[in-house]
Structure 1
């Protein structure tokens, strides 16, 4: 699917030009979403039986990195919306038909925190809740929502993802932030709606990589662990933002004159060191992602389960990747001088967007690193995001 990556690359100047407009709108312009659709990006991970490409996941992550290097908010939304067709492929065949039966370009947003409460009823669940941070929800007509299934005593007995059409939820415009302003990550409200059983998926099934969708989507792509695929979908945009910051910074520094010293910034050895340090951190973050996802994909292509220790390493390196990317952006920002503070400059937007991306729950470094450390010390780890 290198043609999709090439088409995305050709789109970068337009996305870069729209970056400030995206921030001002507080959502990605419809024109940008349509342009990405035309490249085939949103179908990279979609099942072939519903018009998708079932591509190598590295094509998807490479495309996300490119998009985020032009506009952080657009890259973030593209990554989240682009990952969801893969997850829908894990749902029962009827759920997939509900979404894609009439329009294979239908998109899904999400908010996975277990803020919903589901009560079992005949054929499914009654479902209620309020969720924050549903990135790109203005460009989707379905949503994945996290919720706890309650037993007869009112105690949780399961943690599931619930799939709802837009007729069953409301979007409340609350997104007004200092970073990732253009993601339109608004709130989702659901008030006592019925969700059929087949439009739910237990995290216990995703954790075991044994899901209803495997009956119809037999490609090895869908045997990858959900947490591995989704966590890198959150880390990759931040690496892309660092990449964009690096490209912007090095171009700027070649023209900048340091007024305080009367010398060209490019000739400052301290600036040269900071650039080298940032480049190394970005490369390290990306190389680990490529290696880990590539290794996991080789396992499923061979008909093997992804080893537990590799799943742990993916989560370890995912949070380290975001940390490295943030460190690189910080190094470049502090090397840019006072003019970098001006509103509208790309470097300060990348700096704000990257830091906003880092606070996503799945980028929480200590939790993921502690899980990895426990396994190395012989302790048992159970977590929905493995």
Structure 2
């Protein structure tokens, strides 16, 4: 989605010989640049680049300044030959994502591999309109980008419901031999978490349907709608984490062993809420300001 908003020249470079080529990303604007003729020189250690071992390109963030000193948040697309991958992904959760650090030194990025984030959000990017039959490209990329985290969180929570049932169904208490799977507390926890996960899925599906409907109409959303889209996914993640915690806290001591799936789901669930886009403290402020008619806080993205 994001790459399809770049100029056709870049898209031909990426997909011309390999239509299955992919890009990982590290889009926080930590890159350092030097303006040169025809583009920029990019330097930076860009962290959290999930899936980078399997990608042929990288999308990285930086800030650019015009002659008036005005800042523009931008993305650069860099080929695999121009960066190294630092194997430093030793995390407590989502270990399989391979979210390592890209080390970029003096990489030249031509102008056709650069786009401003604001242009991508407002239908002014170089690739806008290239695919008239694919309505997704008439929607801003950022809500779709954010939804990826919520989709993972939902999948973890849905698996937690099944794993908890599997573990609890035949579980007995060590000292009394009482059945846990038929006890009222376990049943109540399972019921509430099931409702909560179903609510998270319904909420996300409604939001995703709104994305699609706007794309079908080739209509960019209002600022208020964008605020909801930016924050809905974070609230869904919050619900999923709560549902997982409710079950894990009642799953017994054996759930804490390294080889038990439930402890992995617990860790991975919390990791989905640790990203800047799923931080609900930030999202609640964004939506709250919009609901009260206040201008957006530029420190909240």
TM-score calculated relative to the size of structure 1: 0.74
Distance in 1 (CA, whole Å) between partners of 2:67 and 2:121 is 25
The aligned residue for residue 357 of structure 1 is: 272
CA shift in 2, pair 1:383/1:282, >3 Å = farther
Q: Name whichever of 299-308 and 345-354 sits farther off.
A: 299-308
CA shift in 2, pair 1:293/1:385, >3 Å = farther
The aligned residue for residue 197 of structure 2 is: 282
Q: What is the correspondence of 1:14-25 to structure 2 with a 5 Å cutoff?
A: none
The aligned residue for residue 198 of structure 1 is: 112
Unaligned ranges ≥5, structure 1: 1-85
SS at match of 2:91: coil
The aligned residue for residue 293 of structure 2 is: 378
Distance in 2 (CA, whole Å) between partners of 1:303 and 1:384 is 29
* CA-atom RMSD in angstroms: 1.8
The aligned residue for residue 151 of structure 2 is: 236
Unaligned ranges ≥5, structure 2: none
The one of 317, 320, 328 aligned to 2:243: 328
**Alpha carbons 2:186, 2:250 under 8 Å: kept:** yes
Distance in 2 (CA, whole Å) between partners of 1:212 and 1:194 is 20
The one of 89, 104, 108 aligned to 2:19: 104
Deviation at 1:174, TM superposition (A): 0.7
Distance in 2 (CA, whole Å) between partners of 1:299 and 1:183 is 31
**Alpha carbons 2:27, 2:61 under 8 Å: kept:** yes
The aligned residue for residue 306 of structure 1 is: 221
**Alpha carbons 1:117, 1:150 under 8 Å: kept:** no
Deviation at 1:177, TM superposition (A): 1.3
The one of 158, 162, 187 aligned to 2:72: 158
**Alpha carbons 2:139, 2:219 under 8 Å: kept:** no
Deviation at 1:382, TM superposition (A): 5.8
Deviation at 1:296, TM superposition (A): 2.3
Q: What is the correspondence of 1:42-121 to structure 2 with a 5 Å cutoff?
A: 86-121=1-36
SS at match of 1:263: coil
**Alpha carbons 2:46, 2:103 under 8 Å: kept:** yes
The aligned residue for residue 217 of structure 1 is: 131
Distance in 2 (CA, whole Å) between partners of 1:299 and 1:352 is 35
Provide the aligned length of Structure 1 versus Structure 2: 300
Runs of 4+ in 1 over 3 A off after TM superposition: 150-153, 382-386
Deviation at 1:89, TM superposition (A): 0.7
Q: What per-residue deviation string (whole Å, max 9, x for no partner) do you get for residues 161-193 of structure 1?
A: 110001111111111111111111111011111
Q: What per-residue deviation string (whole Å, max 9, x for no partner) do you get for residues 302-327 of structure 1?
A: 23222322221122211111111110
Q: What per-residue deviation string (whole Å, max 9, x for no partner) do you get for residues 216-264 of structure 1?
A: 2222211212221011111110111111111111122112112234221
The aligned residue for residue 178 of structure 2 is: 263
SS at match of 1:270: helix
Distance in 1 (CA, whole Å) between partners of 2:262 and 2:86 is 30
Distance in 2 (CA, whole Å) between partners of 1:260 and 1:209 is 64
